[in-house]
Amino acid sequence: MKINKIILLVIAVIVLLLVGIRLVPAVISSFYDYDILIKDGMVYDGTLAAPKQKDVGIKGDKIVAVGNLTGSARKTIDAKGLIVTPGFIDVHNHSDVVFKKTGLLRYLAFFNPQWRGNYNYLTQGVTTIIDGNCGWGFANLNNYFRFLNLLNFGTNVYTLVPHGDLRNFLFGEQDPEPLTDDQLEVLKKEVEKEMKRGALGMSTGLEYAPGYIASTDELVELAKVVKKYDGIYVSHVRDNTGDGVRKALKEAIEIGKRADIPVHISHLQVNAPRRNVGAEDLIAIIKKARADGVDITADSYPYDAGNSWITMLTPSKYKTSDSIRPEYKTGKGREELKGAAEEGFKNLAPDQIIINQCSSNRSFEGKTLAEIAKSQGKSPAEMYVELACSDSAPMCIFLDQDINIVKALMPYDYMMSSSDGTVYTDLAGRPHPRSFGAFSRKIRYIVLEEKIMSLPAAIRSMTSLPAEKFKLKGRGSIAEGNYADIAVIDLDNFRDRATYKEPVQYSTGVKYLLVNGVLSIDDGELTGRRGGRPLRRGGVGCRIVCFFL
């Protein structure tokens, strides 16, 4: 009995000490008007308003004052000569795919500061990411958020319901048929469950299995469920090539009309073969839909190449979500697949395909399919079949876009910024450079060098526009009462450094970065402090207290 009392006393003392340690900052804070005071910066508030030199006062995780401020502060940031913006929002991110794909190895992130801190995004000025895109992600939002809570991730994370992975979870990857009425009801109930858990909406990846076998009617019925919870329909459309992108875009608009739901198009683009389809063709379709009352927006990244599984080169009938269907891995099926690859090379040559993630042979990473085939004494089609049919199909960078089309799509007031990238870990191979530079590159290349759009418009595309469309409460603008997600940037030195050959290079120029008031970059240096939160629709965080992490 006496030993039990001693144990209880020791536990009580430990708890009191831990609680006391956590209360110390709050006690110290009470002696100051502000925890952080940003002085004399040129404030771009996230709207199209002209920038003004102002001060920004932060207390805890909120902006409490904006203007000509006086008063005491625990820390004062001299922002003279710098710009002050809301933290950037990446509406199209796949960090959840990295955590999912690495399985139990994801727990190594606890011991890897750059992975845990999401440094490749912080150094671009990104404070919030939206996962669950292209129909991929965690079928159960709560499971993902429990992990993020324990990890204490570096950026805020929202997520969408991933149609493809949820469908696979319920019915299996090999089901090639449309859903029965009973199966559709099961899927609708699961979508509703995820919306109740706080997802922002539902995403589809209609170029991938099982998305490509989902009918428009199925998607409309699911979108109606999402609509009940004030959500959004986000789509990687069925075809991004010049052969089908216009029809695919019109299908997304039809779903929006029939379900009466806001629509967002992921990575709006025209891939090879382009068939003389240009930016103006897509803009005309979107312009008409908006005139007809459809709330449709889109996002894009400032690169001429995408990143996906090597299986994307071949038609849908050969593919599962990330591999080749079993019947095409042997015998006649394999020969047919080889023929399909040769046909695919007519639109995208082997030297335009860069292997960037290949778990079966890491030495292939960073090399083109043509280079690998030559080194192995095989034809490109033979090499393609061997790689695509492996247990873990490689991921590739496809140089299949026209940069002039990319640039032409960007200036419109319904176009958001995105990366289509991931948090970085070397466990997942070489990244596409967009994971390290999409946002800094857009401002440096599209705004300052090419002068395709104004700086306020570009910042709006990264902040208030996505916050409004995705209903991210308290995010996306510098205003009293909003969360203190703030970037202080040296515009002269703000640039991307990541390239296709050397992608693991942080952007430069972010002098200070706050995530929910936590100073994650201080005078250009990563602090290791993490302020990110898993967030549910409506802006409610689900951070739990983890004293020992």
Residue 524 in contact with residue 510, Cβ under 8 Å? yes
Higher pLDDT, 12 or 224: 224
First-residue to last-residue Cα distance in the chain: 32
Q: What is the model's pLDDT at position 512?
A: 98
Q: pTM of the full predicted structure?
A: 0.93
Residue 546 pLDDT grade (very low, low, confident, very high; cuts 50, 70, 90)? very low
Q: What is the model's pLDDT at position 23?
A: 58
To the nearest whole number, what is the mean pLDDT of the chain? 93
Average pLDDT for 443-454: 98
Residue 107 pLDDT grade (very low, low, confident, very high; cuts 50, 70, 90)? very high
Cα angle value 288/240/172 (rounded, 5°) = 115
SS3 205: strand
Please enumerate, as own/partner, the contacts of 142-149 that have beta carbons within 8 Å and a separation of 24 or more: 142/197, 144/96, 144/99, 144/534, 145/534, 145/536, 145/542, 147/99, 147/106, 148/532, 148/534, 149/534, 149/542, 149/543, 149/544, 149/546
Q: From the CB of residue 80, how many other CB atoms can be counted at a distance below 10 Å?
A: 10
Answer whether residue 5 shows pLDDT above 90. no
Cα angle value 224/412/500 (rounded, 5°) = 95
304-335: pLDDT as tens digits: 999 999 998 988 889 887 789 999 999 899 99
CA pair distance 374, 377, nearest whole angstrom? 5
Average pLDDT for 425-445: 95
Complete DSSP assignment for 451-471: --S-HHHHHHHHTHHHHHHTT
The encoded tokens of residue 380 equal: 């490109």
Average pLDDT for 45-60: 97
Q: What is the model's pLDDT at position 549?
A: 30
Q: What is the model's pLDDT at position 429?
A: 85
Average pLDDT for 242-265: 98
Answer whether residue 90 shows pLDDT above 90. yes
Helix (H) or strand (E) holding 118: none
Answer whether residue 163 shows pLDDT above 80. yes
CA pair distance 157, 129, nearest whole angstrom? 5
Radius of gyration of the chain (CA): 24
Average pLDDT for 276-289: 97
Burial class from Cβ neighbours inside 10 Å (0-12, 13-18, 19+) for residue 200 reads buried
Complete DSSP assignment for 42-110: EE--SSSSPPEEEEEEEETTEEEEEES--S-EEEEEE-TTSEEEEPEEESSB-HHHHHHHTGGGGGGGG
Burial class from Cβ neighbours inside 10 Å (0-12, 13-18, 19+) for residue 177 reads exposed
pLDDT above 90 coverage of the chain, percent: 86
CA pair distance 367, 360, nearest whole angstrom? 14
When mean pLDDT is compared over 3-7, 15-19, 223-227, 311-315, the highest value belongs to 223-227
Residue 27 pLDDT grade (very low, low, confident, very high; cuts 50, 70, 90)? low
Q: What is the model's pLDDT at position 19?
A: 61
Residue 538 pLDDT grade (very low, low, confident, very high; cuts 50, 70, 90)? confident
Residue 539 pLDDT grade (very low, low, confident, very high; cuts 50, 70, 90)? low
Q: What is the model's pLDDT at position 392?
A: 84
Q: What is the model's pLDDT at position 15?
A: 66
352-367: pLDDT as tens digits: 999 999 988 999 999 9
Helix (H) or strand (E) holding 201: strand 201-205
Average pLDDT for 411-419: 98
Q: What is the model's pLDDT at position 420?
A: 98
Question: Tokens 């990446």 correspond to what residue?
Answer: 90
Q: What is the model's pLDDT at position 18?
A: 62
Domains of the chain (ranges plus CATH)? 2-86+513-541 (2.30.40.10), 88-304+401-483 (3.20.20.140), 322-398 (no CATH)
Q: What is the model's pLDDT at position 25?
A: 63
SS3 146: helix
359-405: pLDDT as tens digits: 889 999 999 999 999 999 999 999 999 999 998 899 999 999 999 99
pLDDT above 70 coverage of the chain, percent: 93
